[in-house]
Chain A
Amino acid sequence: MEIPRHWRLKQQRYGLVGEVCPHCQVKVFPPRDVCPNCGGEARTPYTFSGRGEVYSYTTIYEAPAGFEDKAPYTVALVKLEEGPLVTAQLTDLGDKPVEIGMPVEMVTRRLRQDGDDRSILIYGYKFRPVMN
């Protein structure tokens, strides 16, 4: 059980809240309080739009513990429109083949189950194809 840890991360998991650097305006995700671009202190929260495109993707057949019931599932590097890359699962794919460059948007879904049968469910961001 790691309830405090997941609670601590809820703004990131549910809201894709990162930071914006007040010195050079670079957007940062996940938050790290130190700007990776200019090295200055960057503690200003910034909520990402949740829109982006697929930078790369893979379908995982050999899943780690906690994800076996979901395998095979697709994980992507998503390039957010504000700049950063983020690691997340793709969901609601239907029959749509995934492609690099495909527009996607954030949704909230169950990420995994923590521990044994009486354990907590962890929710967080995934990305789905943008509906036209």
Chain B
Amino acid sequence: MTEVVIAGIGQTRVGEFWDLSLRSLGVRAIRAAIKDSGGLQPQALYAGNMLAANLSRQAHVGTLLADFSGLAGIEAEALEAAGASGAAALRQGYLAVASGLVDVALVVGVEKYTDLIGPGVEAALATTTDSDFEAIHGLTPAAQAALLMRRYQHEFGLPADGLAGFVLTAHANGAGNPNAMYRKAITLEAYQKAEMVSDPLNLFDLAPNADGAAALILTRRDRLPRDFPHPVVQVAASASVSDTLGLHNRPEPLWFAAAQASVEQALKKAGLSREQIDLFEYYDAYSIYAALSLEAAGFAARGQGWKLAAEGESGLQGKIPCATMGGLKARGNPGGATGVYQAVEATLQLRGQAGANQIPDARCALIQALGGPASTAVTHVLKRAD
């Protein structure tokens, strides 16, 4: 199959941007990515977005972004897979270029939370659960994570502050990312004192929902400009797997089966073993998801994922560096844009452009975005191609 490379990356800062709209965020990331690619002109746009129809009363996001980027005339569609929307858009762009049907694809993820404030945001997020059998009972995505966290404590003897390691690591890494929402390390004491959102899940166990947009230009290697200024990063594998939508329909809720299967497929397609992975951008929308994702990906045994963070093995100098630019926790969680941010950040690492957070000689990155509690899991392997 055709070798698909990431020719350009772009991202806005993540935060609360009252003065920026859905479209202006998306356009900024798109223009930055096109510029970074040396001016490649895309023939197709795939947008990842989760909630614009709810939050901004705006559907039809693909065409909106193509239009306002000055790209009207090209193919443009949006993909929605809850928190995995951006990763699904990346996969779509990958498939389009790999098939040979599209030479240059633009992938953009965008989420605009702050068009709405208050309980409406939680209600919008709850539409990603089973509306008839979960959301109707007042369940929210944060509450789903809390249910898993409580059960994990019960089954595996997780201490009350056992997940703090994920949060501390993420915030420490966020300090080195100029685009992160939170750029300050936090203390264990602050974690222990944080107020409950959905107990036992506290405010720090939860990544902040925030505005942001990120974009990628994908092409075939032979289409790169002759004077392409960056080390070449290849999309070495892409895998997307679904599970039951409702958490209650799983035989074993504490096992992220779709996350496991998508990692397995991606590693196999890339021809890599876990030992060759230099960094893992996991989906830490909730700290318990970080633990469950590490277990599903095979970096830790069942019930042991939390110990990797507690023992410092998920830090920049650890055995398997995770959330290297702050993760969802400190960079911020821009919903449907998240999967594209992960790809942008992993590309920075593989190009050697990650600044203070650079993993020395990083060559292979595993990135994974989840929709719901791994009701969808989309995993990519990015690889330095030289």
6 tightest A-B CB contacts, nearest first:
A64-B122, A58-B146, A64-B123, A65-B123, A85-B248, A56-B151
Given contacts A30-B132, A61-B198, A62-B198, contact A75 B150 (CB under 8 A): no
Q: Is the CB of B147 within 8 A of A77?
A: yes
The reply to whether B119 and A87 contact each other, CB–CB distance below 8 Å, is no
**A84 in the interface (beta carbon within 8 A):** yes
Q: Is the CB of A124 within 8 A of B147?
A: no
Is B122 within 8 A of A62, CB to CB? yes
Within the complex, what minimum Cβ distance (angstroms) separates B53 from chain A? 16
A66 close to B139 (CB less than 8 A): no
Chain B: minimal CB distance from A72 (Å):
9
Contact with A along B155-185 (1 / 0, CB 8 A): 0000000000000000000000000000000
Cβ-closest chain A residue relative to B125: A64
Nearest CB on A from B371, distance (A): 18
Flag whether A3 is at the interface (Cβ < 8 A). Answer: no
Can you list 28 contacts pairing A with B, beta carbon distance less than 8 Å? A5-B132, A30-B132, A30-B133, A30-B246, A36-B249, A55-B253, A58-B147, A58-B150, A59-B199, A60-B140, A61-B195, A62-B140, A62-B198, A64-B123, A64-B126, A65-B123, A67-B138, A75-B137, A75-B139, A77-B247, A77-B248, A87-B134, A88-B137, A89-B137, A89-B138, A100-B151, A100-B154, A124-B136
B57 to chain A minimum Cβ distance, whole angstroms, is 15
CB of A82 within 8 A of chain B? no
A14 proximal to B (CB < 8 A): no
Q: From DSSP, what is the main secondary structure of chain A's interface residues?
A: strand
Contact call B140/A56, Cβ cutoff below 8 A: no
Inside 8 A of A62's CB, which chain B residues have their CB?
A: 119, 122, 140, 142, 197-198
Question: Are A87 and B133 touching (Cβ within 8 A)?
Answer: yes
Q: Check if B132 sits within 8 Å of A85, measured CB to CB.
A: no
Interface size on A (CB < 8 Å)? 36
Do A86 and B248 contact each other (CB < 8 Å), given the known contacts A58-B143, A112-B138?
yes
CA distance A64 to B126 in the complex (A): 8
A87 near B137: Cβ-Cβ < 8 Å:
yes
Q: Residues 35-76 of chain A: 1 if any B CB is under 8 Å from the residue's CB, otherwise 0?
A: 010000000000000000001111111111111101001011
Bound Cα distance from A63 to B137, whole angstroms: 11
Does A102 reach chain B (CB closer than 8 Å)? no
Distance of A9 Cα from B133 Cα, bound (Å) = 10
Residues on A with beta carbons closer than 8 Å to the beta carbon of B118: 65
- Beyond the given A56-B154, A62-B142, A75-B138, could you list 12 further A-B residue pairs with CB under 8 A, ordered by the A residue number? A56-B253, A57-B147, A58-B200, A59-B199, A64-B125, A66-B119, A68-B119, A75-B139, A77-B253, A84-B249, A88-B137, A89-B137
A111 part of interface (Cβ distance < 8 Å): yes
Q: Does any Cβ of A come within 8 Å of B201's Cβ?
A: yes
Contacting residue for A65 out of B120, B139, B197, B201, CB 8 A: B120
B362 lies within 8 A of chain A by Cβ: no
Asked if A107 CB lies within 8 Å of chain B CBs, one says no
Chain B, 89-141, CB within 8 A of any chain A CB: 118-120, 122-123, 125-126, 130, 132-140
Which residue from chain B places its CB closest to the CB of A88 in the assembled complex? Answer: B137
Q: Are B248 and A57 in contact (CB under 8 A)?
A: no
